Chain A
Amino acid sequence: MNLEKITLISFGYFEKGLLDKIEKEVEHEFLLPVRLREGHLDLSQFFEPSRRQYDGFRLLKEVDSSFADENDKTLGIFNVDLYIPILTYIFGQAYLNGRAGIASIYRLRNERYGIFKDEKILVSRFRKEVIHELGHTFGLIHCFDPSCVMRSSTYVEDIDQKNHQLCRKCRELLGIQP
């Protein structure tokens, strides 16, 4: 990989310390320096009143065009409910082998499902989601290894089932020492 770094850009409010934890884990997983910074966007432009959600595909385009650098992998981190026109919701999305992706913490919270708030689970899910979307930007497709972080997850329960790490095969594809 001839990449310089990974940039995580937060759009909106997040729990104290959460992004710092994620930053370290991402750095550890991809063996690249990770820079964390705040981004500013008028999210109302991306709001779809009829669905009361935010257009994930347009947000992805925006992050790619306005925030991403050529030699970086940039991930926009949001705290809003994302959708794409065809699907009711998404946890995140990325350009396969591109330079940008997005991920949202919104649907990862236990409270959304009528369960007690659990900070530990939230960090664990978000960490997996961030690494998963970044994995796509590195060209990884969904993995069939049930424990691999690149396994497709359509429910939060699916995210809980997998590990935080890339499997041996995915690491080999990225050229990272297993």
Chain B
Amino acid sequence: MAKKISILIVDDEESVRDSLYNWFIEDGYQVECAENAKTALTMLQSESYHIILADIKMPGMDGLEMLKRIKSLKSDAIVIIMTAFATVDTAVQALKDGAFDYVTKPFDPDDLSHLIRNASKQISLIEENEILKEKVISLENVEDMIGQSEAMQEVFREIESVAQSNASVIITGESGTGKELVAKAIHANSPRKFFPMVSVHCGALTESLLESELFGHEKGAFTGAIYNRKGRFEMADSGTIFLDEIATISPKMQVELLRVLETKSFVRVGGNKEISSDFRVLCATNRDLKSMVEKGLFREDLFYRLNVVNINVPPLRDRVEDIPLLIEYFIKKYCASMNRPPIPVEPSALQRMESYAFPGNIRELENMIERAIVVGNGKKIMLKDLPLAKESVKPTFESLDDLGKKHILAILTKYSWNITVSAKALKLDRVTLYNKIKKYGLTPPK
């Protein structure tokens, strides 16, 4: 036996209890006995058992009544009912009430062994299922969410505090910062975790397609609608719906969305039946929704409905200390997918990445690492493997005017202030170039 299986024997006959006890002890099980249902139920309150073998006929509470009580305690125990007088009715009743099996006394030693072996298999399956569920949750939870920086720790704290509630959340942050991962982590830590999380990329769909995608459609609702189709809100019943790029939805869809959020019910496109769905809304945007509200581009009522909680995911340049961790994670991920051992990063390459602004955030870093592993020598990631090796990697936040001034000066210097050649290189006419030289106060070197 891989692990100790515990058995509770419930029978009013001492000889039955003793003989079963002795039989199971020899098999290495952990065995306890109770002389009636009441004692067994009391024992179940302080102790849990894998298998309960109960006689059907006992003074006071009978086995079937005890079975019902055990099931109402939400015990995972497998209950096997024993009887000396088998009738089909009681057997059917026992199985209907949730008994694992039903046996008639006395039974062959081999039948008893089989019975317990089958029950043990069931127990293993239940436990295996629990372990797998936990693994799935931990996979969704932590695998891809990496960060030891204070900014990310704050995000993790916010995820934890908001996950248990049903509140709508707007996740903001630049493109590529991992907003969808935050949504997944909220879902995976919520009581809705065993139900689906349905994602909709609002920005990728036209208004009519989005409507059909969110609410579903009835057969014949429009050309090409040859079957009834469930919408994403319907699919997210008991789970979570994640609306990515929420700022891109049209004013008409904003109205419809607001109505669905308020009533939790909707009608499929082309249908007339009201459908209810219990979902939680998480949405994400890289735009400033508040300023969109001020400009009248996003409905204020919808904004307040969605923005119960706001989680802002910091850009990668604000958490440079996480870059080495992320690099290590992506190296492991892509080396594993290519069946290679993880490779180190050359210090100069690491330094360059740490000083880079990553406008594309983690997505850019991930692609950069994948590319470096593919094109590199397979032993380590070197500076030449990075697409930023020849680029100016210093972040620049100068104005367009300043940049224009610098660029024009560089071209003029390159062509020794030859206006005609410089204007051609800049793709400007000569008059415009003169005006710009005057505007920026540029003077040729003496």
The residues of A with any CB-CB pair to B shorter than 8 Å are: 51, 55-58, 60, 83-90, 93-96, 136, 141-142, 144, 152, 154-155
Q: Which residues of A contact B25 (CB under 8 A)?
A: 96, 141
Q: List residues of chain A with CB within 8 A of the CB of B1.
A: 144
Chain B interface secondary structure, helix, strand, loop or mixed?
helix
Which residues of B lie under 8 Å from residue A56 when comparing CB positions? 19
Instruction: Collect the chain B residues with CB atoms within 8 Å of residue A86's CB.
Output: 16, 19-20, 23, 82, 105-107, 112
Cα(A142)–Cα(B25), bound, Å: 9
Pairwise interchain contact B19-A57, C-beta atoms closer than 8 A:
yes
- Write out the residue numbers on chain A whose beta carbons fall within 8 Å of the beta carbon of B15: 55, 57-58, 84-85
A58 to B108, CA, bound (A): 19
- Interface digits, B12-29 against A, CB 8 Å rule (1 contact, 0 not)? 010110111011011110
- Which A residue sits closest to B105, measured CB to CB? A86
Q: Which 7 A-B pairs have the closest CB atoms?
A: A84-B19, A141-B28, A154-B110, A154-B109, A57-B19, A85-B15, A85-B16
- Chain B contact residues (Cβ within 8 angstroms of A): what range? 20 to 34
- Contact partners of B113 in chain A: CB under 8 A: 152, 154
The winner among B27, B28, B109 for most chain A CB atoms within 10 A is B109
B interface vs A, CB < 8 Å? 1, 13, 15-16, 18-20, 22-23, 25-28, 82, 105-110, 112-113
Residues of chain B with a CB closer than 8 A to A142's CB: 26-28
Contact status B26-A141, CB under 8 Å? yes
Q: Which residue of B lies closest to A132 (CB)?
A: B26
Contact, CB under 8 Å: A155 / B22 = no
Task: Give bound CA distance, A57 to B105, whole Å.
Answer: 16
| Interchain nearest-CB distance for B37 vs A (Å) | 18
Contacts of B26 in A (CB 8 A): 93-94, 96, 136, 141-142, 152
> Closest A-chain residue to B2, C-beta based?
A144
- List chain B residues, Cβ under 8 A from A136: 26
State the Cβ distance, B21 to closest chain A Cβ, in Å: 10
Question: A94 vs B25: C-alpha distance in the bound complex, in angstroms?
Answer: 10
Of all chain A residues, which has the CB nearest B19? A84
CB distance from A62 to the nearest CB of B (A): 14
- Tell me which residues across on chain A come within 8 A of B110, comparing CB atoms: 154-155
Task: Choose among B27, B105, B108, B112 the residue that contacts A85 (Cβ–Cβ < 8 A).
Answer: B105
A87 touches B16 (CB 8 A): no
Judge whether A87 and B22 touch: CB under 8 Å. Answer: no
Residues of the A chain whose Cβ atoms lie less than 8 Å from the Cβ of B112: 86-87
Please measure, in the bound complex, the distance between the C-alpha atom of A57 and the C-alpha atom of B91, giving whole angstroms: 28
- Residues of chain B lying within 8 A (CB to CB) of residue A84: 15, 19, 22-23
Give CA–CA (A56, B112) in the complex, Å.
Answer: 17
Expressed in whole angstroms, the minimum distance between the Cβ of A153 and any Cβ of chain B is 9
Cα separation A155 to B113 with both chains bound (whole Å) = 12
Contacts of A155 on B, CB cut-off 8 Å? 110
Q: How far is the CB of A158 from chain B (nearest CB, A)?
A: 9
Q: Tell me, rounded to whole Å, the shortest Cβ–Cβ distance linking B312 to chain A.
A: 57
With a CB–CB cut-off of 8 A, which chain B residues contact A144? 1
User: Quick one: given A144-B1, A154-B110, A154-B113, are A85 and B23 in contact (CB under 8 Å)?
Assistant: no
Q: In the assembly, what is the distance between CA of A89 and CA of B108, in Å? A: 7
**Contacts of B22 on A, CB cut-off 8 Å?**
57, 60, 84, 93, 95-96
Q: A85-B13, A141-B26, A142-B27 are in contact. Are A154 and B19 (CB under 8 A)?
A: no
Which residues of the other chain, A, contact B27 by a CB distance below 8 angstroms? 141-142, 152
A154 touches B23 (CB 8 A): no
Contacts of A141 in B (CB 8 A): 25-28
Contacts of B20 in A (CB 8 A): 86
Smallest Cβ distance from A58 to chain B, in angstroms?
Answer: 8
Interface centre among B25, B26, B28 (most CB of A within 10 A): B26
Can you list 24 A-B pairs with a CB-CB distance of less than 8 A? Answer: A56-B19, A57-B18, A57-B22, A58-B15, A84-B23, A85-B13, A85-B19, A85-B105, A86-B106, A86-B112, A87-B23, A87-B107, A87-B112, A88-B107, A88-B108, A89-B108, A89-B109, A93-B26, A96-B26, A141-B26, A141-B28, A142-B26, A152-B26, A154-B113
Q: Name B29's closest neighbour in chain A (CB-CB).
A: A141
Q: Which residue of B lies closest to A89 (CB)?
A: B109
Output the residue of A51, A56, A58, A152 with the most chain B CB within 10 A.
A152
Q: Closest chain A residue to B28 by CB distance?
A: A141
How distant is A49 from chain B, measured CB to nearest CB, in Å?
15
Chain B min CB distance to A91 (Å): 8
B residues in contact with A83, CB < 8 Å: 106
